[in-house]
Structure 1
Amino acid sequence: MQKTILITGCSSGIGLDAAHGMRERGWTVFAACRRRVDCDRLRAQGFVSPLMDYTDSETLRSGLEDVLEHTGGRLDVLFNNGAHGLPGAVEDVSTDGLRAIFESNVFGWHELTRQVIPVMRAQGHGRIIQNSSILGFVSFPWRGAYVATKHAIEGLTDTMRVELRDSGINVVLIEPGPITSKIREKAIPHFEQYVDWKNSALRDRYEQSLLKRLYESSGPDRFELPASAVTAKLIHACESKHPHPRYYVTIPTHLGGVLKRVLTTRAIDRILARLR
């Protein structure tokens, strides 16, 4: 019997690569997207692609029902992946913007996960894999809203791992650093909607730094890896008899983990301040 995996956020980047990579491994892949046009494109590629938008509870319910109808009521792995960014200084991100990013990056993940856990409990096994980030444990400037969501995901995931210890359900974090994706471009509408940078006390810094990074493509970041680097860790997390609790991806993530262990908070702050 083929193993089954539901992956969210499959329109591009990490989710799309993961969908193709897991299918090549012989898995039955349900490649969810939040827009119908992307679902249609993936269906043309041979995937079952349910419409699942983390900000729309009805699509989460109906999408999971569609998956379970195809599988006869079972699911081996859930890979929570879909998310978006909201760059800007914390003082400039509107509270509505913070609510919106938490809806898609945290609350939707939690809602879908709560629906999946009873399925996995009933079958006696399963894996919940959360695509977090280096920003789940290191707080880079200009990314406070996204950092907050990833810190929240890390806290929920670490707690679930302990709570589900004897259930047969493994709970895993994947923590990428810079990965080739469209997250920068997709963050622009959220930035324009929720950040009034022109009236910010930090306007000069926006013009000198963030705006250039956001609107002017300068090629790959230093140490950036392709999405396949995440897929490689996902494969291990899905297929290993004893998956790791967390998987680092990219040199910056490994370096960040070391620095968090050996440096003081003030020392780390001095390093991160140079990234402004």
Structure 2
Amino acid sequence: MRKSILITGCSSGIGRDAAEGLNRRGWRVFASCRKERDCAALRDAGFESPLIDYADPESIRTGLAEVLEATGGTLDALFNNGAYALPGAVEDLPREGLAELFETNVFGVHDLTRLVIPVMRGQGHGRIVNCSSVLGLVPAPWRGAYVASKYAMEGLTDTLRLEMRDTPIKVILIEPGPVTSKIRVNSIPHFERWIDWRGSARAEQYETRLLKRLYDKRGPDRFELLPEAVTEKLWRALEDPSPRARYFVTTPTYVFGTLRHIVPTSWMDWILAKG
């Protein structure tokens, strides 16, 4: 029988490529999205696609139930990939905007993971892979909400990995740096909803820095890789007999994953402030 995996956030980018790549490798892929129209498009492409919106606890329960009904109650792997960004200076970030982002990037991931653990414990095996970021390792200006959510994911994942040592469940982090996706474009509505940049003490900096990055068309970031690079590390995390705790993707993640342990904080701040 084919191994089964549930992947969240499959409408585009990392999630979509992971679904296609693992399908080619023989996995039975359940490629979930948070919008029905995206699920329908994936079904038209031949995937099984349950509706799972991390911000909607009921959809998490019903989406997973759909997967388990299709597999006869088993699930070999979970890839928690869905997330979004809310750019803006921390001092301009309303509590409500931060809370809404955490519902998706942290709490929904946690809810789905908790529901999957009993399934994997009962079947005697399983792998939970969480997609973090280089911004789960180091901060960056204008990205405080996203950084905070990925730091939280890192803490929960590291703790869960320790607690699962006496079970057959492996818990793994994948940490990409710049990867081609729609996360910047998809962040614009959240920025426009929550950030009053014109009323900010940093209005001039918004105009000269953040707005240009958000709205101007441009080429790939330096060191940016295609989503296939993440899919390759995901496959290794799923197939390695003794998987690593972390799999880095892209040069910046390797660099900052090392520097944060050896460079004084003041030096790191200088480097990271440069963007």
**Structure 2 partner of 1:272:** 272
Partners in 1 of 2:134 and 2:204 — Cα distance? 27
State the SS of the aligned residue for 1:165.
Answer: helix
The question of 1:177 aligning with 2:177 is answered yes
State the SS of the aligned residue for 2:219.
Answer: coil
Partners in 1 of 2:258 and 2:235 — Cα distance? 25
Segments of 4+ in structure 1 off by > 3 A? none
State the SS of the aligned residue for 2:165.
Answer: coil
The question of 1:138 aligning with 2:138 is answered yes
**Structure 1 partner of 2:217:** 217
**Structure 2 partner of 1:80:** 80
Deviations 1:164-194 (A, max 9, x none): 0111000000000000000000000000111
Percent of aligned positions that are identical:
61
Residue 10 of structure 1 deviates from its aligned partner by 0.1
Partners in 2 of 1:217 and 1:125 — Cα distance? 45
Deviations 1:105-150 (A, max 9, x none): 0000000000000000000110000000000010011000000000
Within 5 Å, give how 1:223-238 maps onto structure 2. 223-238=223-238
TM-score, with structure 2 as normaliser: 0.99
Deviations 1:240-260 (A, max 9, x none): 111110000000000101211
Residue 274 of structure 1 deviates from its aligned partner by 1.6
Structure 2 unmatched ranges of 5 or more = none
Residue 69 of structure 1 deviates from its aligned partner by 0.4
**Structure 2 partner of 1:114:** 114
Structure 1 unmatched ranges of 5 or more = none
**Structure 1 partner of 2:68:** 68
The question of 1:18 aligning with 2:29 is answered no
Partners in 1 of 2:33 and 2:111 — Cα distance? 16
State the SS of the aligned residue for 1:127.
Answer: strand
State the SS of the aligned residue for 2:171.
Answer: strand
Deviations 1:192-240 (A, max 9, x none): 1111100000111100000000011211000000000000000000111
**Structure 1 partner of 2:94:** 94
Partners in 2 of 1:243 and 1:112 — Cα distance? 22
**Structure 2 partner of 1:149:** 149
Partners in 2 of 1:84 and 1:258 — Cα distance? 26
